[in-house]
Structure 1
């Protein structure tokens, strides 16, 4: 039977209930934040208009009036189903983040928690213990695993340290335990994060109060771990890439030789800015060319844009993979050899009947327990996929 799924694309939430058409869900809270910000922006612009008219030339004022109004970035960063048919999702804006619950049947949104201290992502709900597991990310660069009661006040961190802990998933069956991915981070002398170790998979057992490493590979990142009803471990494996670049004398020499040209370019852009402000015209015709920032998406810490996706394209012509073949969905038993299930996998989820649903960024596929595969839909810049039915 075709599963009901939800997926995120460019921070927006879409529902696909079995054979029904795709439906976009908009956050009422996000719309309220955007409307309030636009109202404040217009009020402030009206107050400053008299001062600006006295200080700036008419051409510059006319150009500013033609600029579009700034909007607040509102994005849904994560979602998961709850036991009562509602969807739980993490919402992010420029200044705050929170957890919300949405009832698809009644089109009602309830706010469970929000704050400006940290961001929340990677939600997963356990109906047995009425707990939400999630990731809390702080401005210092660290991310912890946290839990929150479905009717609780705020998430409570259960891991700590100078590390990046992400993507918790409750383990089905008896007991209280979850799996997550973790990587140690390295800092420079100023205290800023400059590099990290490969992600490995940890198991946190609440009953035994113990943390056990389930899988690790010094050459690979192991992402998004889940334990299926079959007791096997599933995860995405991709090649590890360090952010630390080795010293190169030729790169240093190149940077030194380019200093005069970069300085001249900066001076030209400064003069070009004043020319546009006071005459309404740039210094060169090339300055009138409009550039459009390409759409991009952040997946497991990597920014993907149309430019760096070109060399990764493979698969179906109308749904090419946005990640390379080396991003593999694998399955392994305890201390077993990983079995590759699919290539070019950006995100996946497991159904209770053993069905695997995954996306390559352009389409969503299902692998059924009998081995048959089916393409469920084609989309654009799909960031994650979630199964929302339990049968």
Structure 2
């Protein structure tokens, strides 16, 4: 089996044969190291007996290392990997060897004004298609040649365009999924996702698959022109600031004010005594962890992970996962005929006649003769790259 990469829990992993390796990402590691060093240089102002004597002692939080992780990757024909990383509000794209993971990486792009979410690679023209967050919640597709530090935007508007893919038969044809954004008094509404086709030669844009009752996303195409994608019921669970949410904010406003006052008193006490008013008692952390594992947001949708797992086990699935059966892997032929290949799919990839898929618990290969082969057990694989 050729090298296979996957993203799981904000880590980029390499599966080669029976070996499963976490891939070191230089841009991510260096950025985290820089944040920690900056904080350590400032600690003398707020720690130690001198800071206590001057009344400047505070309980210093650890460096905020959230929002620093790899977001996507592609594999080139010469066994190199090009990956993108979220660096808080900026992004980096690096290229590195897959045969020697410790070899120094090459920088492709470093930007502070957008974050790359998805990438696709055009081997024939040595260019990338990027899905990038530009301003607010908008996400658009742009093209980045590997030999030039410049981007050309292909899409625009109040929408989220994600998961670009070059047609393997003609790289001037680009597919991606998209949903509209509606800005209202009570927040933002997300429309159902649909799959679009853009002819980069003529500029013609068409909708390939759409239905107001469903999301269609993560398109892939094989060399025969068959289009594969995920289908799930359209949900408004991920939408923000509904009227009900606004009403809750009003009701709970007094409690939030009290919490803020307690926090201010705690800060004052820590500053002059070095101790916190807050105790270690409270909710059982084991119960909180159990709930977080049971209810998860996946692709912006709330899923009952444990409930789905038990249901899939009861259905007699060979490798039961956490994703509901309403999430389907669909194949559409060039003539437009659609068929469901697998249910309960979170992500997938195509390679040499095989389909690789994740169901939130396992990474499985469906071979050309329709046999299923377990590759690795790991939770929440959001992307598979091969």
Counterpart residue number, 1:220: 214
Alpha carbons of structure 1 residues 301 and 89: separation in structure 2 relative to 1, 3 Å: farther
Distance 1:98 1:285 in 2: 39
Counterpart residue number, 2:182: 186
Counterpart residue number, 2:346: 346
Deviation at 1:312, TM superposition (A): 2.7
Deviation at 1:133, TM superposition (A): 1.0
Is the counterpart of residue 112 in structure 1 residue 108 in structure 2?
yes
Alpha carbons of structure 1 residues 94 and 303: separation in structure 2 relative to 1, 3 Å: farther
Is the counterpart of residue 231 in structure 1 residue 225 in structure 2?
yes
Q: 1:1-391 maps to which residues of 2 (within 5 A)?
A: 2-17=1-16, 19-49=17-47, 52-56=51-55, 64=59, 68-71=62-65, 73-107=67-101, 108=103, 109-174=105-170, 176-188=172-184, 194-242=188-236, 243=239, 252=247, 267=261, 271=265, 274=268, 280=275, 282=277, 286=281, 294=292, 299-302=298-301, 308-313=304-309, 314-315=311-312, 320-334=320-334, 336-351=336-351, 353-387=352-386
Deviation at 1:90, TM superposition (A): 0.6
Alpha carbons of structure 1 residues 286 and 56: separation in structure 2 relative to 1, 3 Å: farther
Distance 1:34 1:360 in 2: 31
Distance 2:45 2:258 in 1: 38
Deviation at 1:380, TM superposition (A): 2.9
Summarize deviations over 1:243-263 as a string: whole Å, max 9, x none.
378767x995x7766665665
Distance 2:88 2:242 in 1: 35
Alpha carbons of structure 1 residues 175 and 120: separation in structure 2 relative to 1, 3 Å: closer
Distance 1:244 1:115 in 2: 28
Distance 1:360 1:278 in 2: 52
Moved over 6 A (4+): 254-257, 288-293, 295-298
Deviation at 1:239, TM superposition (A): 0.9
Aligned to 2:162, the other structure's residue is in SS state strand
RMSD between aligned residues: 3.3
Summarize deviations over 1:177-227 as a string: whole Å, max 9, x none.
0110011110125xx960121111111112332111111111011010112
Distance 1:205 1:72 in 2: 37
Aligned to 2:88, the other structure's residue is in SS state coil
Distance 1:259 1:41 in 2: 34
Alignment check: 8 A CA contact 2:349 2:357 kept: yes
Summarize deviations over 1:311-366 as a string: whole Å, max 9, x none.
33244599652321111111112463421111111111111x22111111221111
Distance 1:227 1:69 in 2: 42
Alpha carbons of structure 1 residues 223 and 40: separation in structure 2 relative to 1, 3 Å: same
Alpha carbons of structure 1 residues 354 and 247: separation in structure 2 relative to 1, 3 Å: same
Alignment TM-score, normalising by the size of structure 2 = 0.84
Deviation at 1:68, TM superposition (A): 4.6
Aligned to 2:19, the other structure's residue is in SS state coil
Distance 1:283 1:47 in 2: 23
Aligned to 1:176, the other structure's residue is in SS state strand
Deviation at 1:386, TM superposition (A): 1.4
Question: Aligned pairs, how many?
Answer: 372
Gaps of 5+ in 1: none
Alpha carbons of structure 1 residues 223 and 285: separation in structure 2 relative to 1, 3 Å: closer
Alignment TM-score, normalising by the size of structure 1 = 0.83
Deviates more, 1:237-246 or 1:316-325: 316-325
Alpha carbons of structure 1 residues 16 and 261: separation in structure 2 relative to 1, 3 Å: closer
